[in-house]
Structure 1
Amino acid sequence: MDSNIQSLFKNLESDDKEAQLDAFKSILDETTDEVDWAYDVWDMLIEWLTDVDNHQRSRAAQFLSALAISDPEQRMLEDFPMLWKVTKDPKFVTARHSLQSIWKIGLAGEEQKLMVLNHIIDRFQNGLGEKHYTLIRFDMIEGLKKLYDQLQDETIKQTALDLIATEEDIKYQKKYLSVWK
């Protein structure tokens, strides 16, 4: 693994919060394109998904979501349930950050895209009992928009619009639709 990447991961453990944040942002920047070091950190990130520190869980979910495009072995298809679990983390901010990045997995290929879509559809339809479900729904609709913007796949747009149409509260229906304007 590149020494710069090693240094960034080491800085995530720094006592200096600014160094941690800089490292976090830099890793996310690095992973917007395919990287050759994904498997050097993959297993560590999988372990982090269940770490006692909610920051580690959140980072792991966000990094793994971004690294899905750098996963030629398609490990994500098997590891996804562990990552999805973090989108329902007891710490709401952790759950939300994880959910906001989950769409990136859909960029990795057709199977990954369908997996993400199916999980979002199921949660949108069956998650009404969740705390802050309107925020969760907004994040999912926004994620679908980001995925659509990258792939220009009309089925993603239609899925989002179909989900929005099921929202009975006009206020929230308008809010969700605003993402697609």
Structure 2
Amino acid sequence: MDSIIKTYFENLEAKDKNLQIEAFQNIINATKGKVDWAYEVWDQLLEWLTDPDTHRRARAAQFLAGLAISDPDKRMLRDFPALWEVTKDSKFVTARHSLQSIWKVGLAGPEQREMVLTHIIDRFKNGMNEKHYTLTRYDMIVGLRKLYDELKDEHIKKIAMELIESEEDSKYQKKYLSAWK
């Protein structure tokens, strides 16, 4: 791992909040493309998914989702359940940040994409008892839109439209549809 990335990871723990934010943003930006250091941080990030610190859990989830495209060994197929758990975190903001990044796992390949889609479909249909469920549903629909925009896969759009149509409340159906305008 190059020293710049290593410094960013160190700065996530800095006392200075601005340094932390800058480090976080730089890591997120780095994971938008393939990187050669994914496995150097992978196990640490997996541990952070269950860390008592909510910031660590959220960061780990967001970083791992981004690193899925840099995972030739397909570790994500094994580790996804731990990542998905953070999308249901007891701290809603942590859950939401994680859920808003989960679509990136679908960029890693067909198996990963199918896994993400299956989880989103199941949760959209069966998660009505969750707190802030309409917001969670909206985030999933936005994630599907982002995945569609990246891949131009009509199958993803079809899934999103079917989920939106399954919403019985016209107010929320309209809100979800707004992500596809």
Q: TM-score range by the shorter chain?
A: over 0.9
Write out per-residue CA displacement over residues 143-178 of structure 1, whole angstroms, 9 at most, x where no aligned residue. 000000000000000000000000000000000001
Code of the aligned partner of 1:139: D
Deviation at 1:38, TM superposition (A): 0.2
**How many percent of aligned residue pairs carry the same amino acid?**
69
| TM-score under structure 1 length normalisation | 1.00
Deviation at 1:117, TM superposition (A): 0.1
Aligned residue for 2:57, secondary structure, equals helix
Write out per-residue CA displacement over residues 112-135 of structure 1, whole angstroms, 9 at most, x where no aligned residue. 000000000000000000000000
CA distance in 1 between counterparts of 2:179 and 2:99 reads 16
Name the structure 1 match of 2:137: 137
Q: Which runs of 5+ in 2 are unaligned?
A: none
Name the structure 2 match of 1:146: 146
CA distance in 2 between counterparts of 1:135 and 1:18 reads 29
Number of equivalent positions: 181
Code of the aligned partner of 2:77: L
Name the structure 2 match of 1:156: 156
Name the structure 2 match of 1:24: 24
Deviation at 1:78, TM superposition (A): 0.2
1:178 and 2:178 matched: yes
> How much is the aligned-residue C-alpha RMSD, in angstroms?
0.3
Deviation at 1:142, TM superposition (A): 0.1
Write out per-residue CA displacement over residues 24-48 of structure 1, whole angstroms, 9 at most, x where no aligned residue. 0000001100000000000000000
Deviation at 1:63, TM superposition (A): 0.1
Runs of 4+ in 1 over 3 A off after TM superposition: none
Deviation at 1:15, TM superposition (A): 0.3
Code of the aligned partner of 1:23: A
Code of the aligned partner of 2:150: Q
Name the structure 2 match of 1:119: 119
Alignment of 1:1-181 (within 5 A): 1-181=1-181
